[in-house]
Structure 1
Amino acid sequence: METTQQGKTMVLNHRQIEQKITRIAFEIFERNAEEEVLVVAGLTGMGYVLAQRVVEKLREIAPFHLQLIKIDLDKSQPNIHEVRLSEQVPLTGAAVILVDDVLNTGKTLTYAMVPFLEAEVKQMEVLVLVNRSHKLYPVAPDYTGFELATTLSEHITVDLNAEASTVHLH
C-alpha cells in the first residue's frame, strides 16, 4: 500500500479495481446462470457507478437481460427520507443484486432493501467493492472486491470515475 502526501493510503489502484470488477462479474454469471433477467440496483453515488461498471462487464460475458436501476436514498439519514428507485421495473419474482461501494455497518444497505422486500423478489444478493466488516446490521455481502480491517475512525474513499479509479484509506 502506498501513502500519499495527504496522509491517504492507496488500497486499490485502477488496475486492481478492474480485476475485481471482472472477477465479480464472472461470479455473478456463475451463480445466476439460470436467470433470464437480472436487476442490478446501485446505491446513490459510487454504488451506482460500481453497478454501471459491473453491468458493462456482465454484458460482455453473460446472456441474460440486465436491468440497471439506481436506489436514491440519503446515506447520512436513510431512516428519515424515503428510499426511491430510479425507474419502475418488474420486481416480483426477480433476481436482484444490490450494489454499494463500501459496506461499513450495513445500515444503508438494510434501508436500501425496503422497496425490494415489498415487491417479493425471488432472491436478493449484495455486492460491495470494499467490506470493512463493522457489522451492526445483519448484512453480509455475497460478492466482495476487497476485505479491509479498519477502525471506525478510519475512512474509505472510493473514486470510480474516469480512467484512474482508486480506493484510499485515511
Structure 2
Amino acid sequence: MSKEKKLILDKSQILQIVRRMAYQVYEQNHTANQIFLVGIDSNGLKISELIKKELEQISDIPVQLIKVEMDKAARSQPHVNLSTLPDKEHLHIVVVDDVLNSGRTMIYALDPFLQLNIEKLQTAVLVNRSHKRFPIAVDYKGLELATTIEEHIEVQLTEDDYSAFLY
C-alpha cells in the first residue's frame, strides 16, 4: 500500500527559503574572508549551489563549494569523500543537506572538518524533521516539520522541479 504524497514546499517556497538562508549565512559570517559551503551529495550540494548564487548577489565575500560523498545507508561511520579540503585558517564552513532526520549524515559530514583551523562550523537544512539521535543543532533551517517516525520527506531538485513532499 503506497502512501499519498503531500506537497509541503513548491519551487517558489524553496527559492524563498534559500534566499532567506543566504541572508542569514551572510549576516552570521559578514566578517569572513571566504565562506565554504559544504553540500552533501546530491540534494545538499544542489541547495549549496543555490545558496552560493544568492550569496554572490548580496555579498562580495568569495564562496567556495565543497562536495561531500558518503554512503548514507552505512550502519557505522562511512568513509567521507570531499571534493577538496580547505587549507586556509579561520575557516567559515556551512555544511548543507536537504533533510535532517536523525542527524547521522550531518554528524559524519562534519567529522573531516574538526581537524581544521575553524572560526565557525555551521549547519543548514531545507527541512528539519527533529528526530535526532545525534546531537546536531541546525543553524539555518528552511522548514521545521513535526512528523512521525513512519513519515518521510522527499525533496526533488531537478531542472524541471523543485519540490518537497511528505508521505
TM-score class, shorter-chain normalisation, is: over 0.9
In the alignment, residue 44 of structure 1 is paired with which amino acid? D
Instruction: Give the structure 1 partner of residue 101 of structure 2.
Output: 104
Say yes or no: does 1:156 pair with 2:117: no
What amino acid does structure 2 have at the position aligned with 1:104? N
Q: Secondary structure at the match of 2:56?
A: helix
Partner of 1:9: 6
Contact 1:8–1:169 (CA under 8 A) maintained in structure 2: yes
5+ long unaligned stretches in structure 1: none
Structure 1 runs of 4+ with >4 Å offset: none
| Residues 22 and 57, structure 1, Cα contact 8 Å, conserved in 2 | yes
Structure 1 position 162, deviation (Å): 1.4
Q: Give the deviation of 1:152 after TM superposition.
A: 1.1
Cα shift at 1:27: 0.8
Aligned-CA RMSD value: 1.5
| 8 Å CA contact retained: 2:78, 2:108 | no
Match of 1:119 among 89, 113, 116: 116
Residue 94 of structure 1 is aligned with which of 76, 91, 94? Answer: 91
Match of 1:66 among 63, 68, 74: 63
Question: Unaligned stretches of 5+ in structure 2?
Answer: none
TM-score normalized by the length of structure 1: 0.92
Residue aligning to 2:16: 19
Q: Quick one: structure 1 residues 16 and 84, their matched pair in 2 at CA, closer, same or farther if it must change by over 3 Å? A: same
Asked if 1:133 corresponds to 2:130, the answer is yes
Q: CA 1:91 to 1:83, structure 2 compared with 1: closer, same or farther past 3 Å?
A: farther
What TM-score do you get using the length of structure 2 for normalisation? Answer: 0.94
CA distance change for structure 1 residues 139 and 111 in 2, over 3 Å: closer, same or farther?
Answer: same
| Paired-residue identity, % | 36
Residues paired across the two proteins, number: 166
